[in-house]
């Protein structure tokens, strides 16, 4: 439903959108109802000449219902939201499907470095492709990422994937995504990381198989020997 | 909707300057974004590897800002400090803003002589190596606009060491569009190791343009 209005670019983007929609519907319904009751009671019990205000001690169960029933409803719907959220969380953050390829994501003030595996599909080999602020992936492949930070807290966020993961100095945090939409999309840092925080956007290129293979060949430092020079870095954006 | 559109049009009209001019933020104002790293007076901060920039020639400051903005410098994955400067250089939105901040740094800020932080350099041994640098940087390290070589005598010693190492490793000066950087990268080969770099830096420390 939300995908009509906002692009969903990964396999789990729809699950997260669905969860947010449910939370919106549940909280929105109760918010509107509570507001209606609140305004209704204000109107009903507006001060009238000759009518003395009544002191409500809260001991009469009939009067307490106005508090206890919403309380039980809140608890019940909290549990409903919790169960739905844990299901999505488990799918996105705990379970990991078989990984086709791994990309290393290194955050720093104020840039992203992406280490791609290169044509051999393996990291830490001579054909690895390191780019600044630029990441290339193939649509339909499941990617694992290894996220680290060179300095302070950052957060790796690809809004179109509904992916957001904090980067913590000294730790390598693993995650995954499977792109389902061709195109160029934003990468952003969503953790205040210093004066240049707003100035560290990156770009992810989701390509079809042929385009991605052509890019791998052109960008790999090994493949480029003797032919056109490989770009040492990405972004001149 | 009937009210929203005219309101929007009125708001847009209020933002428009009738003379069509683009407001230019003063250099001093622009420089406030730089003070977090380079210091209030452009004196630099060795702890975070931000060099002193006060009083450097305007042509040099402008050329480096342009290089950072276009990714010619500071775009290598291993250039940690350069990658930090790169986005900051893009805060200036147009040539007029670049010019105003460059003018402020070069002409309104006074050069600051920082403490010597690079130890164990042999100035006598460095003098011999420096003979290679004279053609571009001048006998007294005063710099040369014609060769686009900065005044080394004004640069902090720790910064020169860091840059020499970057040139040697190809972290700086490897971009095909960095003409002066390419030259400097080739020249850095003359200095065989870190000790040779320290020696030439020690010699530069004795120069007084």
Distance, in Å, from the CA atom of B208 to the CA atom of B141, rounded to the nearest integer, reads 8
Contact A131 B77 (CB under 8 A): yes
The pair of structure tokens assigned to A32 is 């509107």
- Which member of B37, B75, B170 has the closest CB to residue A132? B75
Co-location of B82 and B134 in the same domain = no
Distance, in Å, from the CA atom of B12 to the CA atom of B186, rounded to the nearest integer, reads 53
Which residue of A lies nearest to B70 if distances are taken between CA atoms? Answer: A236
Co-location of B90 and B128 in the same domain = no
Contact B88 A108 (CB under 8 A): no
Q: What is the mean pLDDT of residues B57-78?
A: 96
Q: Which of B75, B82, B185 to mutate to test the interface with A (most CBs of A within 10 A)?
A: B75
pLDDT digits (tens, 9 = 90+) for B92-148: 888 999 999 999 999 999 998 888 999 999 999 999 999 999 999 999 999 999 999
pTM of the model: 0.85
Contact B87 A108 (CB under 8 A): no
Contact A108 B76 (CB under 8 A): no
Q: What is the mean pLDDT of residues B46-51?
A: 95
pLDDT at residue B1 is higher than 70 = no
Co-location of A110 and A174 in the same domain = yes
Residues of B in contact with A150 (CB under 8 A): 80
Contact B77 A113 (CB under 8 A): yes
Co-location of B79 and B153 in the same domain = no
Co-location of A214 and A106 in the same domain = yes
Co-location of A90 and A133 in the same domain = no
CA distance A1 to chain B (A): 25
Is residue B45 less than 8 Å (CB to CB) from chain A? no
Q: How confident is the model at residue B21 (pLDDT cuts 50, 70, 90)?
A: low
Which residue of B lies nearest to A193 if distances are taken between CA atoms? Answer: B84
What pLDDT is stored for residue A228 in this prediction? 41
What pLDDT is stored for residue A226 in this prediction? 43
CA distance B37 to chain A (A): 9
- Which member of A132, A229, A237 has the closest CB to residue B83? A132
What pLDDT is stored for residue A14 in this prediction? 96
Per-residue CA distances from A111 to A108, B75, B114, B154, B159 (Å): 5, 9, 29, 29, 21
Average confidence score pLDDT of chain B? 92
Residues in B 77-116 with any Cβ partner in A closer than 8 A:
77, 80, 83-84, 86-88, 90-91
Distance, in Å, from the CA atom of A122 to the CA atom of B166, rounded to the nearest integer, reads 28
Per residue of chain A (237 residues), what is the pLDDT tens digit?
A: 778 889 999 999 999 999 999 999 999 999 999 999 999 999 999 999 998 888 888 888 888 888 899 899 999 999 999 999 999 999 999 999 999 999 999 999 999 999 999 999 999 999 999 999 999 999 999 999 999 999 999 999 999 999 999 999 999 999 999 999 999 999 999 999 999 999 999 999 999 999 999 999 999 998 554 444 444 444 433
Co-location of A89 and A62 in the same domain = yes
Q: Do residues A145 and A163 touch, judged by C-beta distance below 8 A?
A: no
pLDDT at residue B178 is higher than 60 = yes
Co-location of B92 and B139 in the same domain = no
Determine, yes or no, domain membership for B14.
no
What pLDDT is stored for residue B195 in this prediction? 97
What pLDDT is stored for residue B3 in this prediction? 75
**Which residues form the domain of A154?**
101-219
Q: How many CB pairs (< 8 A) connect A and B?
A: 53
What pLDDT is stored for residue B12 in this prediction? 73
Co-location of B128 and B66 in the same domain = no
What pLDDT is stored for residue B22 in this prediction? 65
What pLDDT is stored for residue B17 in this prediction? 62
Co-location of B158 and B201 in the same domain = yes
Contact B86 A113 (CB under 8 A): no
- Which member of B70, B75, B91 has the closest CB to residue A233? B75
How far is CA A67 from its chain centroid?
36
Select from B145, B105, B124 the least CA-distant residue to B200. Answer: B124
Last residue of a domain, one of B85, B108, B131: B108
Co-location of B194 and B149 in the same domain = yes
This model of the complex carries an ipTM of 0.84
CA distance A108 to chain B (A): 8
Q: Do residues B71 and A233 touch, judged by C-beta distance below 8 A?
A: yes
CATH of the domain at B199: 1.10.760.10
Domain count, chain A: 2
**Which residues form the domain of B201?**
123-170+177-206
Concatenating the DSSP letter of every residue in chain B gives: -TTHHHHHHHHHHHHS-TT-PPP---HHHHHTTTHHHH-TTS--BGGGTB---TT--HHHHHHHHHHHHHTSSS-STT-HHHHHHHHHHTT--SHHHHHHHHHIIIIISPP--PPP---S--HHHHHHHHTTTHHHH-TTS--BTTTTB--GGGS-HHHHHHHHHHHHHTSSS-STT-HHHHHHHHHGGGS-SHHHHHHHHHHHHH---
Determine, yes or no, domain membership for A184.
yes
Co-location of B187 and B134 in the same domain = yes
List residues bridging with A203 in a β-sheet. A134, A186
What pLDDT is stored for residue A237 in this prediction? 32
């Amino acid at each position: 439903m939300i995908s009509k209005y906002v692009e969903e670019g990964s396999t789990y983007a729809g699950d997260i959108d669905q969860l947010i929609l449910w939370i919106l519907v549940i909280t929105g319904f109760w918010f509107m109802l509570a507001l209606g009751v609140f305004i209704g009671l204000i109107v009903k019990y507006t001060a009238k000449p000759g009518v003395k205000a009544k002191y409500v001690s809260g001991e009469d169960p009939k009067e307490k219902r106005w508090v206890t029933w919403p309380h039980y409803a809140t608890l019940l719907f909290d549990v409903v939201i919790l169960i739905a959220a844990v299901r999505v969380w488990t799918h996105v953050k705990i379970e990991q499907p078989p990984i086709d390829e791994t990309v290393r994501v290194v955050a720093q003030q104020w840039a992203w470095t992406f280490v791609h595996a290169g044509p051999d599909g393996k990291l830490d080999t001579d054909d690895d492709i390191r780019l600044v602020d630029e990441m290339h992936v193939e649509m339909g492949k499941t990617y694992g990422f290894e996220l680290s930070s060179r300095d302070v807290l950052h957060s790796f966020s690809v809004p179109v994937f509904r992916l957001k993961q904090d980067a913590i100095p000294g730790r390598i945090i693993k995650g995954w995504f499977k792109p389902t939409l061709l195109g160029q999309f934003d990468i952003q840092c969503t953790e205040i990381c210093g004066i240049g925080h707003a100035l560290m956007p990156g770009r992810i290129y989701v390509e079809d198989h042929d385009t991605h293979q052509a890019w791998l060949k052109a960008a790999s430092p090994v493949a480029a020997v003797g032919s056109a020079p490989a770009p040492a870095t990405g972004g001149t954006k | 909707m009937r009210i929203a559109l005219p309101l929007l049009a009125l708001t847009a009209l209020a933002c428009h300057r009738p003379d069509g001019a683009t407001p230019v933020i003063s250099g001093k104002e622009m420089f406030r974004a730089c003070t977090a790293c380079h210091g209030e007076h452009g004196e630099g901060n060795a702890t975070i590897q931000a060099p002193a920039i006060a009083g450097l020639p305007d042509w040099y400051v402008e050329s480096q800002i342009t290089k950072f903005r276009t990714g010619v410098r500071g775009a290598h994955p291993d250039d940690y400090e350069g990658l930090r400067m790169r986005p900051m250089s893009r805060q200036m939105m147009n040539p007029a803003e670049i010019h105003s901040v460059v003018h402020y740094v070069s002409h309104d800020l006074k050069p600051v002589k920082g403490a010597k932080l690079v130890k164990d350099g042999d100035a006598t041994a460095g003098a011999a190596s420096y003979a290679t640098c004279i053609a571009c940087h001048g006998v007294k390290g005063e710099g040369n606009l014609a060769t686009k070589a900065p005044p080394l005598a004004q640069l902090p010693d720790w910064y020169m060491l860091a840059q020499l190492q970057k040139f040697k490793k190809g972290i700086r000066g490897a971009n095909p569009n960095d003409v002066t950087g390419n030259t400097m990268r080739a020249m850095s080969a003359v200095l065989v190791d870190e000790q040779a770099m320290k020696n030439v830096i020690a010699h530069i420390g004795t120069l007084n343009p």
